[in-house]
Amino acid sequence: MRFFNNMRIRDKIFVGYLLAILAVVGVAALSWRYLTATDERFEQAVGRDVPQIRVLEHLRDKAAALIHAVDVFASRTAVNQLRAGSTDTLTAKRAAMQDAERDLAAFLAALAGDLRAAHAGEADPRNQILAAGAAVLDASKGLIARADNGATANDLLEIAEDFDASASQFRTLIDGAIASEERALATMHEETRAAQGQATWLIGGGVLVLILVMLACGYTIANRIAQPIVRLRAAMVRVGEGDLAAIEESSTRDEVGSLVDAIRAMVGRLQEASKELGESEVKFRTLVGNIPGVFYRCANDAAYTMEFISPPIQDLSGYPASDFIGNKVRTYASIIHADDMDLVNKTVEEGLNQRRAYVIEYRVVHRDGSHRWAREYGQGIFGETGELLHLDGAVFDITELRQALDQAKEAMDKLSRQERLAALGQVAGTVSHELRNPLAAIRNSMALIRQLTADKGLGVERAVDRVERNIARCNGIISDLLEFTRKRDLNRTATAIDGWLAEMLDEHTVADSIAVVRELASNGVVALDRDRFRQVMVNLLDNAAQAMTVSGWSPTDGRQLSIVVRTEAAGPHVRVSVTDSGPGISSENLAKIFEPLFTTKASGVGLGLPTVRTIVEQHGGTIDVESTVDVGTTFVVWLPRQTAEAAVPDAKDKEQAA
């Protein structure tokens, strides 16, 4: 079996054919030999028996001739004696009888010789024939001798009758021998026919067995060749499914065996390569995972299906990478701030159209609701025929950078504003101070005029009143300017802003036509300079009220005039907002609203909001404004929430008092 296993398939098939041919030849030779042998035996039997039959037939003919000659002689002799006729014819008859006698004797002698040679000592029926023949001869000789001795015709006829009896016995024996020989021959023939029939069946059976054996051998060989291929196929399927160890060592050394070995070697190398790839992918993932940026690859389909995104996406968005891969839970687009979506789409589209890398900065909406600034370096990956396959990119969280930049910018703005304010303050301070004296002189003079003209009916009272009123106005403006330009330190107290605001709103009233709505829900504590921050709130409330009661404006939809004062917790901040339902501010004016000396009011210096801003910033907060024309304006103040550890012990007492 080992030898067979190690044979090549070509040799296996060759050997199979060779064996088949040998078997066919062998069966053919054997059956030919068998048939020939049977034939030979039959021929031998025929060759032996047929001449014997011929000999016996001869013998019968010779005996018949003798009997006939004896009969003729005996009857002639008897006739002659009766008639005492010539003896010439008798002599001839006698000669003929003696010829026949000699002929038979010679034949018997020859036969006897043959018999003796062939069947010496056997009780062959032919010995009886010989004995009977000898008796016939003796009888014929006795007849002649009796005839010569002058026997009577009656004696002769009697003798002839005896002779006939022995001759008749002799013929019966010969006929019996012939019949026996012929029967033996027939039996032999039948036996031969039977043997040949058997041989035919035997040969047919042999051929059938041979065919079955050849079929079995062929099937076995085919199976032995096919089986490893079938196993290989099954193993290959398992390899395809990822089981790289699926291929067993081949059991044969033929072509299939070497094929299996070659594939085994190949899969082994594949396994190694796969392992190396796995290792390098682990390296890659570790590397990518450690870089503080998000790397991604997405498909170029309608949904930009994410194929890979690195784990730091969790830091950026609050959602795990697995959420995004295959767009399983959410798409990347879903975390991009809605306001930035158009910019992102436009930039990506342009980049892809021009086939160049693009850089976009946009906001990502974090799971916790906060916004993160992201900078993305992206590009399209194109196939050989120029079709877009993927979008690749790296996204970095630049929130801190952005915040730092914003802070730097803000600080610079603040600095330049402070510089300008300082310069302005200096000039304003000087000018205001210089104005106070002339104004004092005017006021004093007007007081004098009032006294001098009192009760004189000159009709100057209206004018004097007007002068005094406007002197007071000038003094107010000078005070505002000095207040704005004077740098004051804050006197801060930990304050529960909601309670404090409620109290403040109770004290400060606005026009009856305006509803003041309180939504105070920050629960925040802020380190507040209460007097200064009251200024902020009064300013914002008065601005709102003035905006809504300015002459010549009324809400187009007849809505309730309202001021909503709202506080909310916003991470580390408390958000305080004042919203009016007034006419709104144009974007042009909105941009300049915090600039000193900018005002849209007919009266006013334009220092209210700059002062508010200064105070808010002194508290470490910021102030924003949003406005929609004909809808209203919202001022939002963000104040830093006081942390527990920063809270001074007495802050709680004050809070409770508030």
If one asks whether residue 589 binds another protein (CB under 8 A), the answer comes out as no
Report residue 471 as tokens: 């002197």
> Minimum distance from CB of 561 to another protein (Å)?
17
Integer Cα distance of 263 and 268 in angstroms: 8
Nearer to another protein, 83 or 469 (CB): 469
Residue of the chain from 187, 444, 470, 523 that contacts another protein (CB under 8 A): 470
Contact code string over 208-247 relative to another protein, x by CB under 8 A: ----------------------------------------
Contact code string over 597-616 relative to another protein, x by CB under 8 A: ----xxx-------------
Backbone torsions φ then ψ of 355, nearest 5 degrees: 55, 50
- Between strands 573-580 and 632-640, the pairing is antiparallel
Nearer to another protein, 280 or 554 (CB): 554
Q: Which stretch binds another protein (CB under 8 A): 33-41, 170-178, 480-488, 595-603?
A: 595-603
Q: Characterize 236-247 residue by residue with b for buried, 16 or more Cβ atoms within 10 angstroms of its Cβ, and e for exposed.
A: eeebeeeebebb
Nearer to another protein, 201 or 553 (CB): 553
> Minimum distance from CB of 297 to another protein (Å)?
55
DSSP output for 233-285: HHHHHHHHTT-TT-PPPPS--SHHHHHHHHHHHHHHHHHHHHHHHHHHHHHHH
**Helix segments in 291-355, DSSP class H:** 313-317, 321-324, 341-353
> Minimum distance from CB of 470 to another protein (Å)?
6
| Residue of 407, 432, 428, 453 lying closest to 617 (CA atoms) | 407
If one asks whether residue 469 binds another protein (CB under 8 A), the answer comes out as yes
Integer Cα distance of 64 and 535 in angstroms: 181
Nearer to another protein, 468 or 655 (CB): 468
Amino acid at 38: T
Integer Cα distance of 245 and 13 in angstroms: 32
> Minimum distance from CB of 604 to another protein (Å)?
11
> Minimum distance from CB of 509 to another protein (Å)?
23
Helix, strand, coil % over all residues of the chain, rounded to 5: 65, 15, 20
> Minimum distance from CB of 602 to another protein (Å)?
4
Residue 80 is inside which H or E element, if any?
helix 9-83
If one asks whether residue 586 binds another protein (CB under 8 A), the answer comes out as no
> Minimum distance from CB of 553 to another protein (Å)?
7
| Residue of 276, 178, 260 lying closest to 227 (CA atoms) | 260
Contact 398, 455 (CB under 8 A): no
Residue 361 is inside which H or E element, if any?
strand 358-365
Nearer to another protein, 546 or 634 (CB): 546
Contact code string over 535-554 relative to another protein, x by CB under 8 A: ---------------xxxx-
Q: How many residues make contact with another protein (CB under 8 A)?
A: 12
Give bridge partners of residue 294 from the DSSP assignment.
395
Q: Which residues contact 143 (CB under 8 A, 6 or more apart)?
A: 70, 73, 74, 156, 159, 160, 163
Nearer to another protein, 550 or 647 (CB): 550
> Minimum distance from CB of 603 to another protein (Å)?
7
Contact code string over 472-511 relative to another protein, x by CB under 8 A: ----------------------------------------
Contact code string over 428-467 relative to another protein, x by CB under 8 A: ----------------------------------xx--x-
> Minimum distance from CB of 575 to another protein (Å)?
31
> Minimum distance from CB of 550 to another protein (Å)?
6
Q: Give the residues lining the site for another protein (CB under 8 A).
A: 462-463, 466, 469-470, 550-553, 601-603
